[in-house]
Homo-oligomer: A and B are copies of this chain.
């Protein structure tokens, strides 16, 4: 963990307003050598579950020492805490509202602290834009080598999310759609590795509302254009897609919808 100069940003601010740019300006003012990378700024507004999913999807590909700033923060300015932590490889900074739930699940946090030392904040802290006034400057100071312990006291009880876990029984695997991507693919909370173990190469069907798909495909091009398919996507979760089409619009289905996998025998 030598260099720590890559700083990524994930927010629900969109790209139209000057909010993301303000955060970047604050970071570059403190550390002109920081390398800024946008994860996405199109998290659905105030959707902490989607933000947590997107954060956990994007961050594993970044090098050791990367600092991830995440801001989906409907309670900004209330007494909700602000956090920073690391795992064996990377760093995270953001509000204590469940946004880091899936990061914690994949890798327990080390040196988890509550951001309370205002020495590392902007001179005047707005109650409505802590991304600019707290999270951005803390990330910049982290990139300059400030240890986590300097930012505030240790925390042991971060907020968790009511994240829907998939259930596995001998008869069926049940889960739900947790994210619809820009291609219209309906991504579930059923992990491909767990599903493969459960299937044990038995034939099976995937059921989503009135749609029944036989077996899993390997890639979108395996079926004809316009046909639906089920596959374990690049993120490692079971998804329903439509070859060269937009499954969510075609099916009129979205986030929260239940799906099941049952053996076909």
Task: Give chain A's interface residues, CB within 8 Å of chain B.
Answer: 3, 6, 8, 13-19, 21-26, 28-29, 32, 35-42, 45-46, 54, 57-63, 66, 74-78, 126-129, 132-133, 181-183, 218-222, 231, 233-235, 244, 246
A26 nearest CB across to chain B (Å): 5
A220 touches B76 (CB 8 A): yes
A17 touches B127 (CB 8 A): no
Residue of B nearest to A234 (CB): B129
Residue of B nearest to A218 (CB): B127
How many copies altogether?
3
A29 nearest CB across to chain B (Å): 4
B61 touches A132 (CB 8 A): yes
A21 touches B58 (CB 8 A): yes
- Collect the chain B residues with CB atoms within 8 Å of residue A127's CB: 218-219
A11 nearest CB across to chain B (Å): 10
B77 touches A219 (CB 8 A): yes
Distance A18 CA – B36 CA, assembled complex (angstroms): 15
- Collect the chain B residues with CB atoms within 8 Å of residue A220's CB: 74, 76-77, 128
